[in-house]
Chain A
């Protein structure tokens, strides 16, 4: 493992090094694992990258539940590939976080104990097949906006993971959009199903970008250190400007009576976001919080014996090789 060089505000050379560090970021240089960094930079990155990794891993559940029910061979293959990609993204991201001197085991432990967060969006249930399409188009659409921003992040391993992930997410987004557009002009039941899915996922999707900038205390520091390169509200705005016209064009109704187009700025302006709901879900009171963690814990506990067998087998092979 790379030896970390962490700086603390009480270090005598902290100010000097911090200025150097911030100047590197301002020049657009990437910070790499062995470079000097403020301990707080590392802490913020571990928080964000591990949350992101957990989101991929937990995020396999709501869509994965529909693999066995996908209504055509083609959709089934696409969904399998998509959920597999999510597992792969989780894997890159856990590796990216490991470069900051934390182990996968520690991160998994933090998830299973309920200490670590993952994206709130996965605490909502997938009630019908149309949810899979809406998640692909809108939820992944918002994720792409966020990840494209993070691909510019100042930390090299995170930025590079994001570049790879964005390429695959683009395919997820496309297949979701294609399905939604098909159902939006499909049979009566298909049209109802896809509208219902949009009604349920719209606000949670907008909330994915995070609280408004005025309620996001970390943002200024994250921007200064290039961990984020855009604010939550900027990311949300980009999402709206791309997706609102396309959803309307598809003949769908967006469940926001206050939604309007602002001629002056060229922006789509949303009505008040139901933040109470967001805070409830983030604090564990969402419809699926307990179920998502239960599924993760169950796999972890019930299949512990498999990991033990792997370890025992590995040790035996090593011992044989040494003989």
Chain B
């Protein structure tokens, strides 16, 4: 059981995870039907389904805590209420941008989900083990793409390097604690993200360098999950357009 004083903090934490998955799934969905080969149309639709499925898992966990309806949260929150990291909301760019982003995100998810399987809050530990199984496949797929692009042609290398330069600074935002995280970490409910940052950077840097890519130094790092880019509003406007189109609709 979860101590009452941790509830709000856990709701906020879970919402941040759910929003990351949701927004990333939305960006992945934009590729479906437009991938470089038919086999990758299949793969990217699969990735989008998995990430969206994870959104459902997290929001289901939240519903158990505070009763909030997952569809209301997805379709009727305003942009400034979303807690996703900037990394996942950036426009899909080219295939290199999409795959480098996916790799950076998958490596992060694999790392913290592995820790989260040890959570003192059983529903969270169970959800983490379930998700981790799928995330292992995602990481395999995206890390191979990073290698293929990094070591493919001059053009693919240039595109992957450019993508990395834009994306890399944003990974640091993923490890920033939310205001309530400290108490959750202390109670053993969620992993200490700050402690995972160094092993993460070490792991991804090694793979990127092996693939012939150079992680850049510096760059702008958002200060909290309150920060977003101009791209979020239009992403959400599109995503929510049908659900908000008819206020009288009872069900979709």
Contacts and interface: CB of A to CB of B under 8 A. Distances in A.
Interface of A: 57, 60-61, 64-65, 67-73, 75-77, 80-81, 83-84, 87-88, 90-91, 94, 129, 182, 186-190, 295, 298-299, 302-310, 312-313, 316
A264 to B, nearest CB: 42
B34 A299 contact: yes
Interface residues on B, range: 35 or more
A187 B249 contact: yes
Given A72-B71, A189-B245, 5 more contacts: A68-B29, A69-B238, A73-B71, A80-B52, A91-B38
B17 interface: no
A313 B151 contact: yes
* Best-surrounded residue of B55, B59, B239 (most CB of chain A within 10 A): B239
Nearest to A78: B49
Given A91-B42, A190-B249, A73 B70 contact: yes
B49 A187 contact: no
B243 interface: yes
Contacts of A308: 152-153, 155-156
A73 B56 contact: yes
Interface string B2-36: 00000000000000000000000010011011111
Nearest to A186: B249
A189 B242 CA distance: 11
Interface string B67-94: 0001100110000000000000000001
B52 A73 contact: yes
B37 interface: yes
B220 interface: no
B71 A87 contact: no
B32 A83 contact: yes
Interface of B: 26, 29-30, 32-39, 41-42, 45-46, 48-49, 52-53, 55-56, 59, 70-71, 74-75, 94-95, 147-149, 151-153, 155-156, 159, 238-239, 241-243, 245-246, 248-252
A252 to B, nearest CB: 18
A87 B41 contact: yes
B151 A80 contact: no
Contact of A87 (B29, B36, B42, B148): B42
Contacts of A75: 252
* Best-surrounded residue of B39, B41, B52, B95 (most CB of chain A within 10 A): B41
Nearest to A91: B38
A297 B134 CA distance: 33
Nearest to A190: B249
Given A60-B33, A186-B251, A309-B149, A69 B242 contact: yes
B35 A299 contact: yes
A73 B63 CA distance: 14
Contact of A61 (B26, B33, B239, B241): B33
Contacts of A189: 245-246, 248-249
A71 B244 CA distance: 8
* Best-surrounded residue of A61, A81, A90, A309 (most CB of chain B within 10 A): A309
B164 to A, nearest CB: 15
Nearest to B251: A182
A190 B246 contact: yes
A69 B46 CA distance: 18
B156 A305 contact: yes
Contact of B42 (A67, A88, A298): A88
B38 A87 contact: yes
B152 A310 contact: yes
Contacts of A77: 49, 52-53, 56
B36 A307 contact: yes
A71 B243 contact: yes
Contacts of A188: 248
Given A90-B38, A188-B248, A69 B239 contact: yes
Contact of B239 (A68, A84, A310): A68
15 contacts: A64-B32, A73-B56, A75-B252, A80-B48, A83-B33, A84-B49, A87-B41, A182-B251, A186-B249, A299-B34, A306-B95, A306-B149, A310-B37, A312-B152, A313-B152
A83 B34 CA distance: 12
Contacts of A295: 33-34
A299 B39 CA distance: 13
Contacts of B41: 60, 84, 87
B153 A73 contact: no
B124 to A, nearest CB: 20
A305 B38 contact: no
Contact of B32 (A80, A88, A304): A80
Given A60-B41, A80-B29, A309 B155 contact: yes
Contacts of A61: 33
Nearest to A310: B148
B38 A57 contact: yes
A19 B33 CA distance: 44
A73 B59 CA distance: 11
Nearest to A129: B242
A56 to B, nearest CB: 9
